[in-house]
Amino acid sequence: MDERLLGAEPENISNLPRRIWVESKKIWRIAFPAMLARVTQFGMFVVTQAFIGHLGEVDLAAYALIQILTVRFVNGILLGMSSATETLCGQAFGARQHHMMGIYLQRSWLINVVIATILLPVFIYSASIFKLLGEEDETSEVAGYISLWFIPILYYFAFGFSVQKYLQTQLKNKIVGWLSAITFVLHVLLSWIFVSKLNWGIPGAMSAMIISYWLVLIGTFVYVFGGWCPNTWTGFSLAAFQDLLPVLKLSLSSGVMLCLEFWYNAVLILLAGYVQNATVAISAFSICLNIIAWEFMVFLGFLTAASVRVSNELGKGDAKAAEFSVKVISSTSVILGVFFWILCLIFGHKLAYLFTSDEEVVAYVSSLYILLSLSILLNCVQAVLSGVAVGAGRQAVVAYVNIGCYYLIGIPVGAILGYVAKLEVEGLWIGMILGVVMQSLVLGYITFKTNWNDQVNKASERLHKLFLKPTEGSSIEEPLNE
């Protein structure tokens, strides 16, 4: 593989436009497959919501509760904990400790499976949980039924997130992108057959989702175990059971960082359940949040690129390259964010028809399109700054920032505007936007003030503590080939 693609900055590149072009190629090589995977995988949730939404208003509201509250709850934890794999594998790849990457992956699987099993009761008893939280009985009962169908997806999260991060840190995430795109098309076809043609209703829609997600996971397993990662995967090893505590600590801080972000929207959906005409409010708000989340999947590609580029450069010890990469990724993300913002302003009134034919819900969504477009614009900054933190292993810092900005500012302000000022969903959403603005400003300041030489030293210390000698016959200096 060309050494420049591994992150080395050629010494003869002194021309700024040329440097930007070279860095942009590295970024898009990581970001585009990640975007393709994220957009299509989340698209399976959106397609399922669209099919269930046309079954009835209660079914749509019940699915929204499960997806936005229960699934987002566990997704935030497991995706966040898997970002520890992204930090460790990315820095190990940069330091050419290739043999350690497979060990980090196995450690992540061990931790994630245990955590997923601990979270299992959230799905089993979700109907009772929603009733306890004051949601309507009929909606809670249907939500409890749907939640049981999400249990296979829970264990997909436990394995799938880690293996995807393991592949993307070594620039091999094309396979995940194409697998996800193919299975997304299959998911649409299966959903149409199971729901529209065979009239299987909720079981048909959820079966299509389970089949599609697990096909992605099986495909990545075949790729890893089948010999396409020879330098980083040398088989299962008892070494995976060593040094679990430091990995667990980083995983927990990563989990807290991401889940606080994911739960933020979930709390607002929960609060929407207490406004007037709650079923319509939940349905409309969940549609808006799904549109935001689907667009956010694009910017998660930049989060991935920021994480991989920063972790690779820190692992190599190149502080200037890491700093320059952050600047290029941030600029690219903002340009794309403005483009999506303009699209939303133009088409915001019609987007709800993708999810429901209920005119009352459509009208409610249309009344929120200005707030929707603003949230879409903010995604482009928030994602990159979080990715930089993951690449540097500073998830704990972001967790504290999220607590302050989201839960001490955003939610209280949203609750006051929603209930006291009688702005209802609009008030809740304004509070949410304020929290995101504050988070972006704080993380932007932290990133601007970062001493990248210190981050290089911290990365070196972390890798040194967790380093194990390669087994006989493996090499940490051999370059990777695709």
Both tokens of residue 295? 């667009």
Q: Average pLDDT of the chain?
A: 84
pLDDT in tens, 321-341: 889 999 999 999 999 999 989
Least confident of 3-12, 194-203, 432-441, 448-457: 3-12
Q: Tell me how crowded residue 213 is: count the other CB atoms within 10 A of its CB.
A: 22
**Number of compact structural domains in the chain:** 1
Is 50 a member of any domain?
yes
Least confident of 189-198, 430-439, 459-468: 459-468
C-alpha 141/C-alpha 77 separation (Å) is 25
- pLDDT above 70 covers a percentage of the chain that reads 92
Cβ(453)–Cβ(81) below 8 Å: no
Q: For residues 47-69, give the mean pLDDT.
A: 85
> Per-residue confidence at 471, pLDDT binned at 50, 70, 90?
low
Residues 6+ apart with CB under 8 A from 436: 375, 378, 382, 405, 406, 410
Q: What is the domain range of residue 335?
A: 30-466
Better-predicted residue by pLDDT, 479 or 152: 152
Is 19 a member of any domain?
no
C-alpha 440/C-alpha 265 separation (Å) is 16
Q: Evaluate if residue 467 carries a pLDDT over 90.
A: no
Is 481 a member of any domain?
no
C-alpha 231/C-alpha 159 separation (Å) is 20
User: Could you tell me where the DSSP H helices lie in 125-243?
Assistant: 126-132, 137-149, 151-169, 174-191, 201-223
Is 5 a member of any domain?
no
Using alpha carbons, list the distances in angstroms from residue 309 to 17, 31, 166, 393: 19, 10, 14, 13
Least confident of 101-105, 114-118, 253-257, 426-430: 253-257
Q: For residues 29-35, give the mean pLDDT.
A: 90
C-alpha 14/C-alpha 19 separation (Å) is 7
Is 11 a member of any domain?
no
pLDDT in tens, 341-398: 998 888 877 777 777 777 888 888 888 888 888 988 888 888 888 889 888 878 778 8
Maximum C-alpha span of the chain: 69
User: Could you tell me where the DSSP H helices lie in 242-277?
Assistant: 244-272
Is 16 a member of any domain?
no
Q: For residues 224-244, give the mean pLDDT.
A: 88
Both tokens of residue 335? 């340009």
Q: Evaluate if residue 457 carries a pLDDT over 80.
A: yes
Backbone angles phi, psi at 474, to 5 degrees: -100, 160
Burial annotation 426-453 (CB, 10 A radius, 16+ → b, else e): bbbbbbbbbbbbbbbebbeebbeebebe
Cβ(85)–Cβ(104) below 8 Å: yes
Interior CA angle at 91 toward 89 and 95, to 5°?
110
Is 476 a member of any domain?
no
Q: For residues 125-152, give the mean pLDDT.
A: 90
> Per-residue confidence at 475, pLDDT binned at 50, 70, 90?
very low
Expressed in percent and rounded to 5, the helix, strand and coil fractions of the chain are 85, 0, 15
Burial annotation 235-253 (CB, 10 A radius, 16+ → b, else e): eeeebbeebeeebbebbbb
pTM greater than 0.85 (yes/no): no
Handedness of CA 27, 258, 396, 410 (dihedral sign): positive
Most confident of 274-278, 327-331, 448-452: 327-331
Is 235 a member of any domain?
yes
Both tokens of residue 311? 């972790």
